[in-house]
Amino acid sequence: MTISKMLLSAAGFAMVAGLAQADTSGKRIALSNNYAGNSWRQAMLETFQETGKQAVDDGVVAAADAYTTSENQATEQAAQIQNMILQGYDAIVLNAASPTALNGAVKEACDAGLVVVSFDGIVTEPCAWRIAVDFAAMGKEEVDYLATRLPDGGKLLEIRGLAGVFVDDEISKGIHEGVAEHDQFEIVGSVHGDWAQDVSQKAVAGILPSLPPVVGVVTQGGDGYGAAQAFKAAGRDTPLIVLGNRQDELKWWSEQHEANGYETMSLSIAPGVASLAFWVAQQVLDGADVPKDLTVPFLKITQDNLAEALETTPEGSVANVTYTLDDAKTVISDAK
C-alpha cells in the first residue's frame, strides 16, 4: 500500500455523493500564506498551485492565486487579507501567522462575503473554517514512541518550530504531555529551529555544549537532519531523533540504517493539506454544508515503509499526498 493510500485510508476516504454541485466556474480563490522558508512550505505552495491550476484549466474556478508574505508577521498578513478583499476574491485559503492576531482581518473578509478556510496554521475566528491534524497528539506520539524504544528513559532535547505559531505551541504541548506521562524522560534543553534544517543545526550546535548526554530528540519537522549534523560535528553520539518526513532526513535515516541499523520514526502533516483546503473552500462556495472544524491524520513513516517514502519523495522536498475533490467530500461527510 502506498504512503498516499495509507493516509487516505486513515481518513476513511471514499467516493461520496449528495453534496452541493452548483457552478463555481466564476469564483476566485486566493491562498494567503505567512511563511515559505522551508521545504514543507515550498511543497505546500507547489501542491496548492498545481491543484488550483488544474481546477482553473478544468473550469471549476476562475482563479486560484497564491500569495506569501515576506515576513512571518501577523500585521503584514492582515494587510494581505484586506487586499484580497479589495481585489474581489470569493474565498481565502489561509495558513495563518497567528491563531488570534488575524481574527480581525478574517472577520472583515467574512463580513464582506468571502469564505475563509484556515489550515495548518488555523485561526480561532468563528466565521472561518479550520483544517488541522491533532498536533498535540502528534507531539505526544513522539514521546510514546521513544518510551517503546528507550524504556529506561533519559535526557531529551526539544526542537521547536516557528515561535508564536499555533502549530509550534500545539506540538510542544503534546511533547510535554508525553513527558509528564513517561516521567523516565526529562527535557533538558529546548531551541527553536523554525522548521528549517540550517536554523536547527545552528541552534542545536549552540546548546549542545551545555547539555548532558542526550538519548532522544523530539522535533516538529524540518529539523531532524540539521540536529543529526550538529551532534556529528560536536563529536557526540547520535541520539534517537524523531524525524519530520523531509527527503534529506529520510535519506540520512536510510543511510544510517544500512550502516549501523539505526531506526526511528518520522511524522508530519502532509503539505498536500493545502489541496484539501482549496477543495473545502470550493465546496463551501458550491453551497455545501461544511462543518467548521475538519481533522485529517498526520502522515507517519516507519522502517517498514521508509524505502517507499524515500523513493516517492523528490530531492529537497517532503513526503506528501494530494487531496482530490472526492477526498474533500469524504472528509466533509465524515465530519458531520
* Percentage of the residues of the chain whose pLDDT score is greater than 90: 87
Q: What are phi and psi of 80, to 5 degrees?
A: -60, -45
Mean pLDDT over all residues of the chain? 92
100 and 41 housed in the same domain = yes
In a domain, 118, yes or no: yes
Is the separation of the CB atoms in 97 and 121 below 8 Å? Answer: yes
- Indicate if 71 and 97 belong to the same structural domain: yes
Task: Please determine, for residue 190, whether its predicted confidence score (pLDDT) is greater than 60.
Answer: yes
Judged against a pLDDT cut of 50, whether residue 192 lies above it is answered with yes
Say yes or no: 43 and 150 in one domain: no
Residue 172 sits in which domain range? Answer: 135-268
Total domain count, the chain: 2
| Pair (64, 123) in one structural domain | yes
Give the tens place of pLDDT for each residue, 95-108: 999 999 999 999 99
Instruction: Give the integer Cα–Cα distance in Å for 110 and 100.
Output: 15
Which percentage of the chain shows pLDDT scores above 70?
93
Total-model pTM? 0.83
Q: Name the band, by pLDDT with cuts 50, 70 and 90, for residue 132.
A: confident
Final residue belonging to a domain, choices 268, 291, 322: 268
Provide the grid cell at 40: 514543507
| Amino acid occupying residue 315 | E
pLDDT at position 5, please? 41
Judge if 59 and 174 occupy the same domain: no
Q: pLDDT value at position 1?
A: 38
Residues 92 and 18 in one domain: yes
Q: How confident is the model at residue 72 (pLDDT cuts 50, 70, 90)?
A: confident
Would the pLDDT of 179 be above 70?
Answer: yes
Whether residue 109 is contained in a domain is answered as: yes
Give yes or no: residues 127 and 170 share one domain.
no
Residue 22 — very low, low, confident or very high, per pLDDT cuts 50/70/90? low
Is the model's pLDDT at 316 over the cut of 60?
yes
Is residue 185 domain-shared with residue 297, that is, in the same domain? no
For 289-311, give one letter per residue: b (16+ CB within 10 A) or e: ebeeebebbbbbbeeebbeebee
For 268-312, what is each residue's pLDDT tens digit?
A: 999 999 999 999 999 999 999 999 999 998 999 999 999 999 999
For residue 128, tell me if it sits in a domain: yes
Domain harbouring 246, CATH code? 3.40.50.2300
SS3 of the chain: the string is CCHHHHHHHHCCCCCCCCCCCCCCCCCEEEEEECCCCCHHHHHHHHHHHHHHHHHHHCCCCCEEEEEECCCCCHHHHHHHHHHHHHCCCCEEEEECCCCCCCHHHHHHHHHCCCEEEEECCCCCCCCCEEEECCHHHHHHHHHHHHHHHCCCCEEEEEEECCCCCHHHHHHHHHHHHHHHHCCCEEEEEEEECCCCHHHHHHHHHHHHHHCCCCCEEECCCCCHHHHHHHHHHCCCCCCEECECCEHHHHHHHHHHHHHHCCCCCEEECCCCHHHHHHHHHHHHHCCCCCCCEEECCCEEECCCCHHHHHHHCCCCCECCCCCCHHHHHHHHHHHC
Strands 240-241, 91-95: pairing kind: unpaired
Q: In the predicted model, what is the mean pLDDT of residues 75-93?
A: 98
171 and 228 assigned to the same domain: yes
Cell of 78: 492582515
Question: Does 6 score more than 50 pLDDT?
Answer: no
Do 111 and 15 belong together in one domain? yes
Buried (b) or exposed (e) across 4-25, using 16+ Cβ within 10 A? bebbbeebebeeeeebeeeebe
143: Cβ contacts below 8 Å, ≥ 6 apart: 175, 178, 179, 181, 182, 185, 218
Please check whether residue 307 lies inside any domain of the structure: no
Both 245 and 287 in one domain: the answer is no
Give the model confidence (pLDDT) of 134-150 as tens digits.
Answer: 999 999 999 999 999 99
Are both 184 and 291 inside the same structural domain? no
